[in-house]
């Protein structure tokens, strides 16, 4: 990481998109950064945190995205350069404050980075950040490559400082997590003093009087548009009068260029790449629309850019004529999933009436055939030794035994996988952070309508702090009936073990106050039980007893993640399958261990007709020993 | 069977494989098992119970649909002098007496019985007289007692005595046939004592019903007095309560409604209450080993026998015939009797001529 703050102007580096963003923030002189972990955004705060001490930055993992935005805003209010970082669903969490913030405006430059995940590669939705710019009336920037990720981040601070409002910069998974070459600019001299000027020189930050503030806010947007008209982030490449014009932004710029090259259309098709996507620089766009009659909009997920451009084209029709638009509205391109060069090739071929090129080589064809014939079906699953598998085994079997149709309202984390066979499809609802508990709180009040199914909520330790507390308080206050299972694996495991309020250290490695989950729950008035998920029998018994009771109960199942630094490479038990005891196919268990429990540390040896331990995968947690009905799996404690 | 709501929580499928567990009076299938056949189905008294086959295998005689099944003698009985006053018996204490004697005489090494944990009935594997006496008293609730038979079968130790309701005795009778030809199987059941049963109740619903009246854990005895009383009497450490039978009936599992067996026709000996004489039992001696045990128990002072008046026998047969008829009508209505295998699975298989005879009776 040292190259990010030590390498000098003009040097060239291969950087991940998120690292390029960090360098851009450093070049802009960022002082304070706050965020909540979420793929694909997490590396930005992580990288800044590593540099914090040396560069005198303050970097924190906040309890949730709204608080992160508030923490960053405070720095801006005190005149510092502030950065808030989150994945798209986090922007939904932060939206309430963002609406007010955009009305009061900022003092020091402030940038909000939202990382979208088109195709939901690591998300439970493919929500969009772009419409937020329009909703909140703040400028939107979208880098199209790695150099722009850096340059545009730096400029976003400049823009924010110029207009006095927060600027939204949107990245996507394929930019944040891919790598490309970046040439560095200068780093600033760092001397910053924080002071909140609420009297002279600024006044209090209020959105009142609303109409006046709103007018000011819109004036800031007009200033931004004026800058956008001449922005170097909006570029055109292609002939002066192309047969078709592609208008695109973000990482789709690269896909569009590739498609034009594949089809050999560089002399026939032009590409207008927009980096400042809201509000649109009207004059610039109108100028380029005038070049062609056929306009193809290439963007991911919803037709945001398409709608904006069409509205602009309607206003400009008298000057530039009627255009034919191609994109998502008429179904040429899909409004779901990621974009890729092949999709652009197909769309462009349609627009120009060209035959589809045969892009499938014999090699690719054969690879596809072999994959279909020979590759085993691999479903997503929990890691070997994951405490969640054991927890859901106990919860699932207890709910089945209870026999009242009890179910689990899931939440966001690795444990969301329990909606699939990996967690025995135990989770029956899955929405946003904290929603499992809120939904269970609602289910728990439906007894008066004859509902007797037990409602269970699960959440991770980080999610507990993020957004489970309000619904838990709601359930207690309203005397709902629910069991909340906190799957405490000692960190924000899914996104890379970032600390949270239950951790003794902060993002920068400093000692902080560790907030105690069971103590909070007890203080709120919930019945709290502690358990070890690896004791599956004990956990099931405990859970069955809890199911017999009413009110709000919390079961904290604590066991560090199998991949946690404290566990990695250390086995508690040496596991072995007794080949004589394992009855194989003749056991009535029908391969319970490898067919249902399915820990990757256990494999079914087809030839030998018994299960065996995969020494490499097994983490020695010992749970499978209690799953085998004939006790064929043995565990020996390491001396 | 589970989906059709026919499960009576007898426990026949519990302990055979890890997929079935009993909790609070219900059997749960924890995960789906895709084996084409299993002992869970083969032993289940509500899945294709072939009464002709099982009766032939048990007694070497056909299933003729007679109200009380095959028997050699019907007597009235009660615990003998050796056991008098030593337990809280439901009626005469004959079951406790017979099992206690069977253990004492080493006819059996252990007995699969039903005990209680609070109000909830639980399987008990008893090896001492004190454990047997502790299990005395009717539970009325469905109990997975056959689970401990499965455990014992796996242990390979011989000479197990089993006390159970008709469905439980039917399950044990099927298990003893080793229907799936499991290698190394050994029939370890040395004695079966059947309990008369008109219905059982679901543990959770019944517990809730009792819980509305009193602390379920304080219940010391339950009884259904003969008509015209139409209540269940619940006795606790401090008071007694009456729950109308109409309310109780709402908690009866669906599987009981298609049960044609009131007197545990596949047992060696069957025992039930005796109308009009609450300190005696009705005793039906069915097999030779049942007859031998009864005779020895009397000689050993564990059991006292007397003749059962003919009128009582006739009343019993009338009640049993009524249950048979109601069960077959219900099973036929629900398409659970002699179903064409192409269109579904039966709960019971009974020769059509026998069905006609029962329905005409």
* Three state DSSP letters for A344-374: HHHHHHHHHCCCCCCCCCHHHHHHHHHHHHH
Task: Give, in degrees to the nearest 5, the angle at Cα A581 between A579 and A583.
Answer: 90
- State how far residue A629 is from chain B, nearest Cα, in angstroms: 6
Say how far apart CA A457 and CA A415 lie, in whole Å: 12
Task: Give, in degrees to the nearest 5, the angle at Cα B282 between B276 and B285.
Answer: 165
**Residue linked to tokens 């939206």:** A95
The residue in chain B having the minimum alpha-carbon distance to the alpha carbon of residue A592 is B18
Strand partners, B130: none
Contacts of A397 in chain B (CB under 8 A): 21, 30
Cβ of B30 within 8 Å of Cβ of A403? The answer is no
pLDDT of residue A535: 97
Quote the mean pLDDT of chain B.
Answer: 92
Q: If we measure between CA atoms, which residue out of B74, B82, B72 comes closest to residue B298?
A: B82
Cβ of B16 within 8 Å of Cβ of A588? The answer is yes
Task: Give, in degrees to the nearest 5, the angle at Cα A315 between A311 and A318.
Answer: 135
Tell me the percentage of chain B whose pLDDT exceeds 90.
66
Chain B touched by A396 (CB under 8 Å): yes
pLDDT of residue B222: 87
3-state secondary structure of A583: coil
Chain B touched by A400 (CB under 8 Å): yes
B115: Cβ contacts below 8 Å, ≥ 6 apart: B121, B122, B123, B124, B134, B135
Question: For residue B341, how many other CB atoms are within 10 A of its CB?
Answer: 8
Grade residue B2 by pLDDT with cuts at 50, 70 and 90.
Answer: confident
The residue in chain A having the minimum alpha-carbon distance to the alpha carbon of residue B29 is A400
Q: What is the pLDDT of residues A361-371, one digit of tens each?
A: 777 788 888 88
Q: What is the pLDDT of residues A593-624, one digit of tens each?
A: 999 999 999 999 999 999 999 999 999 999 99
- Reading the block at residue A573, the tokens are 């038990």
Q: What is the pLDDT of residues B193-203, one digit of tens each?
A: 999 999 889 88
Q: What average pLDDT does range B99-108 have in this prediction?
A: 96
Grade residue B153 by pLDDT with cuts at 50, 70 and 90.
Answer: confident
Say how far apart CA A28 and CA B234 lie, in whole Å: 81
Contacts of B30 in chain A (CB under 8 A): 396-397, 400-401
Quote the mean pLDDT of chain A.
Answer: 95
Tell me the percentage of chain A whose pLDDT exceeds 90.
87
Chain B touched by A469 (CB under 8 Å): no
Contacts of A537 in chain B (CB under 8 A): none
User: Which range is least confidently modeled, A117-126, A440-449, B153-162, B291-300?
Assistant: B153-162
In chain A, domain spans:
3-228, 235-352, 387-558, 573-637
Quick one: CATH architecture of A3-228?
A: 3-Layer(aba) Sandwich (3.40)
Chain B touched by A608 (CB under 8 Å): no
Task: Give, in degrees to the nearest 5, the angle at Cα B109 between B108 and B115.
Answer: 90
Alpha helices in A34-145 (DSSP H): 42-55, 65-77, 88-104, 130-136
The dihedral built from the CA positions of residue B206, B212, B218 and B221, taken in this order, carries a sign that is negative
Quick one: CATH architecture of A387-558?
A: 3-Layer(aba) Sandwich (3.40)
Direct distance between the N- and C-terminal alpha carbons of chain B, in angstroms, rounded to an integer = 29
pLDDT of residue B88: 81
**CB of B203 closer than 8 Å to CB of B60:** no
Q: What average pLDDT does range A158-167 have in this prediction?
A: 98
The phi, psi pair for A117, rounded to 5°, reads -130, 70
pLDDT at B78 over 70: yes
**CB of A424 closer than 8 Å to CB of A392:** yes
Say how far apart CA A73 and CA A194 lie, in whole Å: 12
- State how far residue A596 is from chain B, nearest Cα, in angstroms: 8
pLDDT at A301 over 60: yes
Q: If we measure between CA atoms, which residue out of A148, A132, A144 comes closest to residue A88?
A: A132
Q: What average pLDDT does range A500-517 have in this prediction?
A: 94
Cβ of B17 within 8 Å of Cβ of A402? The answer is no
Contacts of A627 in chain B (CB under 8 A): 18
Antiparallel, parallel or unpaired: β A179-183 and A269-274: unpaired
Strand partners, A483: A456, A553
In chain B, domain spans:
20-202+252-360
Query: Is the bond into B210 cis (omega within 30 degrees of 0)?
Result: no
HEC string for A152-200: HHHHHHHHHHHHCCCEEEEEEHHHHCCEEEEECCCCCCCCCCCCCCCCC
The residue in chain A having the minimum alpha-carbon distance to the alpha carbon of residue B182 is A586
Q: What CATH number has the domain spanning A235-352?
A: 3.40.50.920
pLDDT of residue A362: 79
Q: What average pLDDT does range A347-376 have in this prediction?
A: 84
Grade residue A165 by pLDDT with cuts at 50, 70 and 90.
Answer: very high
Q: What is the pLDDT of residues B241-283, one digit of tens each?
A: 899 999 999 999 999 999 999 999 999 999 999 988 889 999 9
Cβ of A592 within 8 Å of Cβ of B39? The answer is no
- Reading the block at residue A543, the tokens are 């859970």
Report the topology of domain A573-637: Alpha-Beta Plaits (3.30.70)
**Residue linked to tokens 């009766």:** B55
Total CB pairs under 8 A between chain A and B: 43
| A90 or B228: which leads in pLDDT | A90
**Residue linked to tokens 């005489």:** B105
pLDDT of residue A146: 97
pLDDT of residue A1: 52
Task: List, edge to edge, every strand of the sheet that includes A527-531.
Answer: A427-429, A407-409, A455-460, A482-488, A552-558, A527-531
Using alpha carbons, list the distances in angstroms from residue A636 to A575, A597, A628. 6, 21, 16
Chain B touched by A402 (CB under 8 Å): yes
Q: If we measure between CA atoms, which residue out of A418, A382, A395, A391 comes closest to residue A533?
A: A391
Grade residue A206 by pLDDT with cuts at 50, 70 and 90.
Answer: very high
Q: If we measure between CA atoms, which residue out of A579, A573, A570 comes closest to residue A635?
A: A573
Alpha helices in A403-495 (DSSP H): 435-443, 461-463, 469-477
A241: Cβ contacts below 8 Å, ≥ 6 apart: A291, A292
Grade residue A52 by pLDDT with cuts at 50, 70 and 90.
Answer: very high
- Reading the block at residue A135, the tokens are 């909703």
pLDDT at A515 over 90: yes
Say which of A403, A589, A592 has its CB closest to residue B23.
A403
- State how far residue B17 is from chain A, nearest Cα, in angstroms: 5
- Reading the block at residue A551, the tokens are 């009110």
Contacts of B28 in chain A (CB under 8 A): 400-403
Chain B touched by A496 (CB under 8 Å): no
Grade residue A6 by pLDDT with cuts at 50, 70 and 90.
Answer: confident
Say which of A400, A590, A627 has its CB closest to residue B35.
A590
Task: Give, in degrees to the nearest 5, the angle at Cα A12 between A7 and A18.
Answer: 80
**CB of A118 closer than 8 Å to CB of A126:** yes
Say which of A544, A588, A627 has its CB closest to residue B23.
A544
Task: Give, in degrees to the nearest 5, the angle at Cα A300 between A294 and A306.
Answer: 40
Chain A touched by B38 (CB under 8 Å): yes
Cβ of B23 within 8 Å of Cβ of A592? The answer is no
A387-558 shares its CATH topology with A573-637? no
Contacts of B29 in chain A (CB under 8 A): 400
Q: What average pLDDT does range A25-45 have in this prediction?
A: 97
Q: Quote the distance between the C-alpha of residue A330 and its chain's center.
A: 30
Radius of gyration of the CA atoms of chain A, in A: 28
Question: For residue A245, how many other CB atoms are within 10 A of its CB?
Answer: 24
Chain A touched by B43 (CB under 8 Å): no
pLDDT at B3 over 90: no
- State how far residue B21 is from chain A, nearest Cα, in angstroms: 6
A559: Cβ contacts below 8 Å, ≥ 6 apart: A387, A390, A488, A489, A532, A533, A534
Q: What average pLDDT does range B64-86 have in this prediction?
A: 92
């Amino acid at each position: 990481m040292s190259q990010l703050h030590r390498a000098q102007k003009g040097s060239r580096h291969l950087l991940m998109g998120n690292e390029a963003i960090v360098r851009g923030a450093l070049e802009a002189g960022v002082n304070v950064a706050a965020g909540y972990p979420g793929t694909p955004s997490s590396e930005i705060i992580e990288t800044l945190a590593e540099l914090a001490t040396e560069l005198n930055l303050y970097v924190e993992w906040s309890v949730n995205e709204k608080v992160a935005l508030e923490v960053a805003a405070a720095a801006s209010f005190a005149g510092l350069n502030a950065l808030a970082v989150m994945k798209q669903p986090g922007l939904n969490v932060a939206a309430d404050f963002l609406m007010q913030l955009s009305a009061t405006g900022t003092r020091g430059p402030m940038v909000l980075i939202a990382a979208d995940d088109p195709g939901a590669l690591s998300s439970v939705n493919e929500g969009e950040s772009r419409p937020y710019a329009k909703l909140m009336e703040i400028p939107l920037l979208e880098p199209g490559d790695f150099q722009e990720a850096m340059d545009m981040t730096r400029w976003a601070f400049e823009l924010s400082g110029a207009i006095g409002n927060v600027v939204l910069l949107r990245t996507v998974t394929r930019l944040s997590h891919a790598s490309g070459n970046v040439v560095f600019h200068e780093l600033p001299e760092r001397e910053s003093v924080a002071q909140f000027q609420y009297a002279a020189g600024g006044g209090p930050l209020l959105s009142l009087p609303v109409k006046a503030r709103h007018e000011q806010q819109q004036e800031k947007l007009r200033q931004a548009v004026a800058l956008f008209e001449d922005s170097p982030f909006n570029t055109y490449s292609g002939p002066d009068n192309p047969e078709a014009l592609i208008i695109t932004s973000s990482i789709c710029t690269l896909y569009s260029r590739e498609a034009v090259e594949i089809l050999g259309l560089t002399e026939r098709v032009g590409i207008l790449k927009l980096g400042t996507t809201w509000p649109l620089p009207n004059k610039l766009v109108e100028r380029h629309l005038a070049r062609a009659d056929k306009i193809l909009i290439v963007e991911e997920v919803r037709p945001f850019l398409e709608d904006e451009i069409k509205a602009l084209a309607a206003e400009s029709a008298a000057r530039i004529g009627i255009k034919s638009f191609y994109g998502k509205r008429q179904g040429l391109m899909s409004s779901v999933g990621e974009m890729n060069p092949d999709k652009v090739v197909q769309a462009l071929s349609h627009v120009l009436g060209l035959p589809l090129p045969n892009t499938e080589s014999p090699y690719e064809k054969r690879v596809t055939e072999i994959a279909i014939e020979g590759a085993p079906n691999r479903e997503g699953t929990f890691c070997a030794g994951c405490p969640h598998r054991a927890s859901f085994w106990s919860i699932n079997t207890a709910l089945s035994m209870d026999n009242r149709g009890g179910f689990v309202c899931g939440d966001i984390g690795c444990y969301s996988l329990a909606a699939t066979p990996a967690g025995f499809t135990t989770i029956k609802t899955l929405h946003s952070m904290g929603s499992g508990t809120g939904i269970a709180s609602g289910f728990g009040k439906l007894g008066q309508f004859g509902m007797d199914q037990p409602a269970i909520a699960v959440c991770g330790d980080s999610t507990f702090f993020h957004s489970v507390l309000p619904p838990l308080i709601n359930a207690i206050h309203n005397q709902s009936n629910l069991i909340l299972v906190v799957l405490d694996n000692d960190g924000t495991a899914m996104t890379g073990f970032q600390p949270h309020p239950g951790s003794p250290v902060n993002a920068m490695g400093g000692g902080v106050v560790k907030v105690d989950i069971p103590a909070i729950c007890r203080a709120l008035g919930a019945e709290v039980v502690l358990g070890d998920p690896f004791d599956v029998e004990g956990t099931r018994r405990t859970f069955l007893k809890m199911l017999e009771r009413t009110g709000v109960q919390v079961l904290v199942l604590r066991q560090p993640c199998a991949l946690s630094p404290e566990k990695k490479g250390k086995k508690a038990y040496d596991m072995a399958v007794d080949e004589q005891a394992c009855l194989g196919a003749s056991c009535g268990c029908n391969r319970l261990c490898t067919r249902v429990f399915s820990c990757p540390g256990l494999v079914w040896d087809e030839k030998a007709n018994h299960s065996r331990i995969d020494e490499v995968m097994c983490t020695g947690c010992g749970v499978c020993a209690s799953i085998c009905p004939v006790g064929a799996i043995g565990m020996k404690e390491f001396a | 069977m589970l989906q059709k709501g026919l499960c009576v929580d007898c426990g026949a499928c519990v302990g055979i494989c890890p997929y079935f567990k009993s909790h609070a009076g219900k059997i749960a299938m924890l995960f789906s098992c895709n084996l084409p056949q299993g002992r869970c189905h083969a032993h289940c008294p509500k899945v294709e119970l072939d009464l002709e086959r099982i009766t032939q295998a048990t007694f070497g005689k056909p299933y003729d649909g007679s109200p009380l099944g095959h028997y050699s003698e019907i007597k009235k009985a009660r615990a003998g002098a050796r056991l008098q006053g030593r337990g809280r018996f439901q009626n005469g204490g004959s079951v406790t007496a017979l099992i206690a004697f069977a253990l004492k005489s080493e006819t059996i090494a252990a007995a699969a019985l039903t005990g209680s944990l609070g109000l909830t009935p639980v399987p008990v594997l008893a090896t001492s007289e004190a454990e047997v006496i502790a299990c005395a008293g009717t539970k009325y609730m469905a109990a997975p007692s056959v689970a401990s038979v499965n455990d014992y079968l796996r242990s390979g130790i011989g000479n197990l005595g089993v006390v159970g309701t008709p469905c439980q005795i039917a399950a044990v009778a099927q298990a003893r046939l080793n229907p799936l030809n499991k290698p190394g199987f050994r029939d370890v059941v040395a004695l079966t004592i059947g309990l008369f049963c008109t219905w059982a109740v679901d543990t959770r619903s019944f517990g809730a019903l009792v819980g509305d009246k009193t602390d379920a854990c304080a219940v010391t005895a339950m009884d259904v007095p003969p008509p015209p009383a139409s209540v269940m009497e619940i006795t606790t450490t401090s008071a007694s309560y009456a729950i109308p039978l109409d309310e109780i009936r709402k908690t009866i599992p669906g599987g009981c409604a298609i049960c044609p067996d009131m007197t545990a026709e596949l047992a060696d000996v069957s025992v039930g209450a005796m109308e009009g004489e609450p300190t005696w039992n009705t005793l039906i001696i069915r097999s030779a080993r049942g007859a031998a045990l009864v005779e020895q128990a009397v000689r050993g002072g564990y059991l006292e026998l007397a003749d059962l008046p003919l009128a009582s026998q006739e009343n019993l047969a009338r009640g049993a015939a009524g249950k048979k008829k109601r069960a077959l009508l219900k099973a036929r209505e629900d398409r659970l009797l002699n179903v064409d295998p192409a269109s579904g699975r039966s709960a019971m298989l009974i020769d059509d001529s026998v069905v006609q005879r029962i329905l005409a009776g």
